[in-house]
């Protein structure tokens, strides 16, 4: 076994099993770029503050730039012996420029280093995720524009409740994804902070310039407290909880797509690219991608629960437990990005069976509220109107008669002020159109929501 970078106070050689168990290079190599960026900022600060001579610093800078270049072009050879990304990069730097590489770690610890790397990693990905969310929002608003007057049953308890505009339905998801956008935007506030210069936990005796390294790293400002800087993983927890809430939204949308494309519903049909066949049943067109997004929700919740649990009992400051912070974050990034992309494509290419949706509102009693409201406008107290309509529904269910099929004479027995205009309000599209209340499903309201949504998208 090679001599460890921290091996001075040890006598015995390492144990291979233990070294493998302790190493994080298997996954933290995903932050290789961030680690080199961090080192570059650090050494430039060491040079500016004259903690390192310009000659030494320039050699280190040149070596790091060479490594960045090699990483981009062909990747770098990492080893478990070097334990983690930080010591692997330092070791490769030593191969490039010799022992002067050892000066890079002046006034720095892996504790502030790893925190910087993870901050950079999340910071770079937040805008990408927000962009993808905006793409999905745009797809939803476009579909809503094309479906303002598409009428479908609205459900509560999965029972037909009142007819709604399908555009209105889509805009409900737009709003959920808008809150996701805002949560990820806020996530940036706690991510855009520099832990660099906290060193191991207590700061350093070297005359470092944390403002400068913060600026060189492109962070908004430095952490105010060195203990907090190396112990804080709130930004990662916030990221994972935002990702979890996002997955809740995606999963709910998927759930509806899945049963809406069933034979029984037939409200929508997925484009072929977003469906799969069966190896045995030739007729099948399965909504696998929607199921997979719904399924991946589980792993994101796992990532969040995992990190919450890792952090909950940790004393200040750094503890090796925190090495377990990274894989969940990487996994969440790797999961939510393609989930958003696939969902956007699925919505863009979704075929809507408008007739089938509308048809479903014609043979139900989802216009019962319309009739009760109508009776109330004729002076019958709403409670009583509700009772009257309830009885009509019960009778109708027994005799197979819809509210619209009840003859006028029979309505007039209930109240002589009922006139033929009752049949107009019983029509499902009228039930939708007349809901002019702010944020309601009325076609005029849906159009206003679309206009407002487009403005929100422009500002995201
Ligand atoms: N690989 C470590 C991690 O991911 C880096 C920090 C190690 N620091 C330490 N004192 N052992 O957390």
pLDDT tens-digit readout, 224-241:
999 999 999 999 999 999
Pocket of ligand 1 (CB under 6 A): 24, 28, 84, 110-111, 114, 318, 320, 322-323
pLDDT score of 446 more than 70:
yes
**Mean pLDDT, to the nearest integer, of 188-210?**
98
Q: Where does residue 292 rank: exposed (0-12), middle (13-18), buried (19+ CB within 10 A)?
A: middle
Active site residue 278: yes
Q: Which of 150, 65, 30 lies closest to 443, judged by CA?
A: 150
Q: Of residues 157, 249, 262, 339, which has the active-site annotation?
A: 157
Ligand 1: centre distance to CA 29 (Å): 13
**Mean pLDDT, to the nearest integer, of 47-54?**
98
**Mean pLDDT, to the nearest integer, of 286-293?**
97
Active site residue 190: no
**Mean pLDDT, to the nearest integer, of 122-139?**
98
84, 198, 315, best to mutate for ligand 1 pocket (most atoms within 8 Å of CB): 84
114, 199, 202, best to mutate for ligand 1 pocket (most atoms within 8 Å of CB): 114
323, 326, 329, best to mutate for ligand 1 pocket (most atoms within 8 Å of CB): 323
Q: Is the pTM of this model over 0.90?
A: yes
Domain 111-359 has CATH 3.30.470.10: no
pLDDT at 364: 87
pLDDT score of 369 more than 70:
yes
Q: What is the Cα 271 distance to its own chain's centre?
A: 24
Print burial letters for 338-355: b (CB count within 10 Å at least 16), e (below 16): ebbebbbbbbbebebbbe
Does the interface predicted TM-score (ipTM) exceed 0.95? yes
Ligand 1: centre distance to CA 125 (Å): 22
Region 368-459: CATH code: 1.10.40.30
pLDDT score of 442 more than 60:
yes
CA distance 240 to 246: 10
Measured by CA distance, the residue closest to atom 3 of ligand 1 is 323
CA distance 43 to 339: 39
Q: Which residues, 6 or more positions from 222, have their beta carbon under 8 angstroms from its beta carbon?
A: 193, 194, 195, 196, 197, 210, 211, 213, 214, 229
Ligand 1: centre distance to CA 5 (Å): 13
Measured by CA distance, the residue closest to atom 7 of ligand 1 is 110
> 223 vs 51, 198, 322, CA distance in Å?
22, 8, 18
**Mean pLDDT, to the nearest integer, of 50-78?**
98
pLDDT score of 2 more than 70:
no
Element (H, E) at 21: helix 16-22
CA distance 146 to 40: 51
What token pair was written down for 171? 């805009």
Domain-by-domain residue ranges, the chain? Answer: 7-106, 111-359, 368-459
Range with the lowest mean pLDDT among 65-74, 251-260, 403-412, 442-451? Answer: 403-412
CA distance 391 to 67: 79
Ligand 1: centre distance to CA 348 (Å): 44
| Mean pLDDT over each residue of the chain, to the nearest integer | 96
Q: Of residues 53, 262, 278, 363, which has the active-site annotation?
A: 278
CATH architecture of 7-106: Orthogonal Bundle (1.10)
Tell me, yes or no, if the two domains 7-106 and 111-359 fold the same way.
Answer: no
The answer to whether 194 and 116 have CB atoms below 8 angstroms apart is yes
> 267 vs 50, 156, 167, 276, CA distance in Å?
70, 17, 14, 18
CA of 84, closest atom in ligand 1: 1
pLDDT tens-digit readout, 116-128:
999 999 999 999 9
What SS3 state is found at 270?
Answer: coil
Q: Which of 234, 327, 254 lies closest to 296, judged by CA?
A: 254
The half-sphere exposure of 6 on its side-chain side, counting CA atoms within 13 A, is 10
**Mean pLDDT, to the nearest integer, of 50-69?**
98
Measured by CA distance, the residue closest to atom 2 of ligand 1 is 323
Measured by CA distance, the residue closest to atom 1 of ligand 1 is 84
Alpha helices in 197-325 (DSSP H): 210-217, 226-231, 234-260, 288-311
Q: How many helices (H) and strands (E) does the chain have?
A: 19, 6
Q: How many residues does the chain have?
A: 460
Secondary structure of 348-364 in HEC code, one letter for each residue? HCCEECHHHHHHCCCCC
């Amino acid at each position: 076994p090679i001599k460890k970078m921290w091996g001075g106070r040890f006598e015995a050689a390492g144990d291979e099993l233990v070294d493998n168990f302790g190493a994080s290079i298997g996954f933290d190599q995903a932050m290789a770029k961030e680690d080199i960026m961090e080192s570059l900022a650090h050494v430039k600060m060491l040079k500016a503050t004259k903690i390192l001579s310009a000659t030494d610093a320039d050699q280190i800078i040149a070596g790091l730039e060479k490594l960045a270049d090699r990483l981009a072009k062909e990747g770098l050879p990492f080893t478990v012996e070097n334990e983690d990304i930080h010591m692997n990069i330092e070791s490769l730097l030593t191969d490039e420029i010799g022992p002067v590489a050892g000066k890079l770690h002046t006034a720095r610890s892996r504790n502030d280093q790893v925190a910087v790397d993870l901050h950079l990693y999340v910071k770079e990905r937040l805008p990408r995720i927000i962009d993808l969310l905006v793409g999905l929002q745009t797809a939803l608003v476009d579909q809503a524009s094309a479906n303002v007057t598409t009428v479908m049953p609205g459900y509560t308890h999965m029972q037909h409740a009142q007819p709604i505009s399908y555009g209105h339905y889509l805009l409900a998801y737009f709003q959920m994804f808008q809150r996701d956008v805002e949560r990820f935007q806020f996530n940036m506030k706690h991510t855009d902070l520099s832990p660099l210069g906290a060193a191991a936990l207590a700061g350093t005796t070297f005359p470092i310039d944390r403002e400068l390294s913060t600026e060189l790293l492109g962070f908004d400002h430095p952490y105010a407290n060195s203990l907090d800087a190396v112990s804080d993983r709130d930004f990662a927890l916030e990221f994972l909880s935002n990702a979890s809430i996002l997955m809740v939204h995606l999963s709910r949308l998927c759930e509806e797509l899945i049963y809406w494309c069933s034979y029984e519903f037939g409200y929508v049909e997925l484009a072929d690219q977003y469906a799969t066949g069966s190896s045995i049943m030739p007729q099948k067109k399965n909504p696998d991608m929607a199921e997979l997004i719904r399924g991946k929700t589980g792993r994101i919740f796992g990532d969040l629960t995992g990190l919450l649990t890792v952090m909950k009992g940790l004393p200040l400051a750094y503890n090796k437990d925190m090495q377990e912070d990274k894989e969940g974050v990487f996994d969440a990034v790797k999961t939510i990005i393609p989930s958003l992309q696939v969902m956007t494509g699925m919505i863009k290419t979704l075929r809507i069976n408008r007739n089938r949706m509308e048809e479903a509102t014609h043979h139900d009693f989802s216009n019962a509220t319309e009739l009760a409201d109508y009776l109330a406008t004729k002076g019958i107290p709403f409670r009583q109107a509700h009772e009257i309509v309830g009885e009509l529904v019960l009778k109708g269910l027994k005799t197979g008669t819809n509210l619209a099929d009840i003859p006028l004479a029979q309505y007039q027995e209930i109240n002589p002020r009922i006139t033929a205009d009752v049949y107009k309000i019983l029509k499902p599209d009228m039930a939708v159109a007349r809901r002019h209340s702010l944020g309601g499903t009325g076609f005029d309201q849906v159009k206003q929501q679309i206009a407002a949504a487009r403005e929100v998208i422009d500002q995201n």
